[in-house]
């Protein structure tokens, strides 16, 4: 199981939000590029980049930083504000290994299908859930779409992977929603990345135990920044026999 450290960018800073609330923000670094390089240097084989300004604006707001990260030799995926093919091309050209479509995957399934066809294996559907329903637009809007139903839809449209984030857990340091993540993973054949709420190595181990259900990655943000454990410790826990 792979551990993917997160770098969330807002206003040019590396930040973390609690439950996706832009008014509950903690700044962890004034240099997101250096932070991405740091995570890569201590074992992160892929960095999860979130453009929080882009998620609200509906366009890429961090192209320059993405190019710097790529120029430093750091592999990354990116999401936030990617809602048309022009922006998909922008972030691919800036060096993204994977592109995450969240709001656009729900509102414009044809875009997801077109992007997946043009960039096979590189288009990821980001499913953000609040009480079992899909949330959109930087988590500002909750739909009536069931997360499991939507997981099946994005698989059918060609997504290579799903990143599932439980908003109620995200940033709360209370543990991951293993069961909902497991339900999403068991409903599809494509791999699922778990995100949100990881607060201890026990949370990593809990997800490792359900790896056979199709969960092969864990995104970790706040816990690493608060030094609850180190990235190498998380990587070791994720590699333990289940």
Choose the catalytic residue: 51, 53, 128, 170. 128
- For residue 89, the model assigns a pLDDT of 97
- For residue 220, the model assigns a pLDDT of 96
Q: 139 falls in which pLDDT band (50, 70, 90)?
A: low
- Of the chain, the percentage scoring pLDDT greater than 90 comes to 75
- For residue 99, the model assigns a pLDDT of 98
138 versus 1: the higher-pLDDT residue is 1
CA distances from 81 to 11, 34, 48, 53, 149 (A): 14, 23, 15, 8, 23
Compute the 3-state secondary structure of the chain and give helix, strand, coil in percent, each to the nearest 5. 40, 30, 35
Over 60: is that where the pLDDT of 83 sits?
yes
Nearest-angstrom CA–CA distance, 110 and 57: 21
Catalytic site includes residue 110: no
pLDDT tens digits, residue range 65-80?
999 999 999 999 999 9
- For residue 173, the model assigns a pLDDT of 54
> In Å, how far from its chain's centre is CA 123?
12
Over 70: is that where the pLDDT of 145 sits?
yes
* Mean of the per-residue pLDDT values of the chain: 91
- For residue 171, the model assigns a pLDDT of 47
- Of the chain, the percentage scoring pLDDT greater than 70 comes to 92
- For residue 241, the model assigns a pLDDT of 63
- For residue 143, the model assigns a pLDDT of 74
Over 70: is that where the pLDDT of 125 sits?
yes
Contacts of 223 (CB under 8 A, 6+ apart): 173, 198, 199, 200, 229
pLDDT tens digits, residue range 13-66?
999 876 556 667 789 999 999 999 999 999 999 999 999 999 888 899 999 999
Catalytic site includes residue 53: no
pLDDT tens digits, residue range 181-222?
999 999 999 999 999 889 999 999 999 999 999 999 999 999
Give the containing element (helix H, strand E) for 38: helix 32-41
Contacts of 33 (CB under 8 A, 6+ apart): 65, 68, 69, 72
For residue 172, the enclosing domain spans: 2-238
Q: Mean pLDDT over residues 103-112, rounded?
A: 93
Name which of 40-44, 56-60, 117-121, 227-231 the model is least confident about. Answer: 56-60
Nearest-angstrom CA–CA distance, 119 and 171: 31
Over 70: is that where the pLDDT of 103 sits?
yes
pTM to 2 decimals?
A: 0.92
Question: How many structural domains comprise the chain?
Answer: 1
CATH of the domain at 200: 3.20.20.70
In three-state secondary structure terms, 179 is helix
């Amino acid at each position: 199981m792979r551990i993917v450290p997160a770098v969330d960018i807002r206003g040019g800073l590396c930040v973390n939000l609690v439950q996706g609330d832009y008014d509950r923000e903690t700044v962890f670094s004034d240099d997101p590029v250096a932070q991405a390089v740091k995570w890569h240097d201590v074992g992160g084989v892929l960095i999860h980049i979130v453009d929080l300004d882009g998620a609200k604006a509906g366009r890429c707001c961090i192209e320059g930083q993405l190019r710097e990260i790529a120029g430093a030799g750091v592999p990354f995926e990116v999401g936030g504000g990617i809602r048309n093919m022009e922006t998909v091309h922008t972030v691919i050209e800036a060096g993204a290994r994977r592109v995450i479509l969240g709001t656009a995957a729900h509102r414009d399934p044809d875009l997801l299908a077109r992007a997946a066809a043009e960039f096979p294996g590189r288009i990821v559907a980001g499913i953000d859930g609040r009480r079992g329903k899909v949330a959109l637009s930087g988590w500002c809007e909750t739909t009536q779409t069931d997360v499991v139903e939507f997981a099946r839809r994005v698989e059918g449209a060609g997504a290579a992977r799903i990143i599932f984030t439980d908003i109620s857990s995200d940033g709360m340091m209370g543990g991951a929603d293993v069961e909902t993540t497991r339900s999403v993973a068991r409903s599809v054949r494509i791999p699922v990345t778990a995100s949100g709420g990881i607060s201890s190595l026990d949370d990593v181990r809990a997800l490792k135990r359900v790896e056979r259900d199709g969960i092969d990655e864990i995104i970790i943000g706040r816990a690493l920044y608060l030094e609850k454990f180190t990235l190498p410790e998380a990587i070791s826990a994720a590699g333990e026999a289940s």
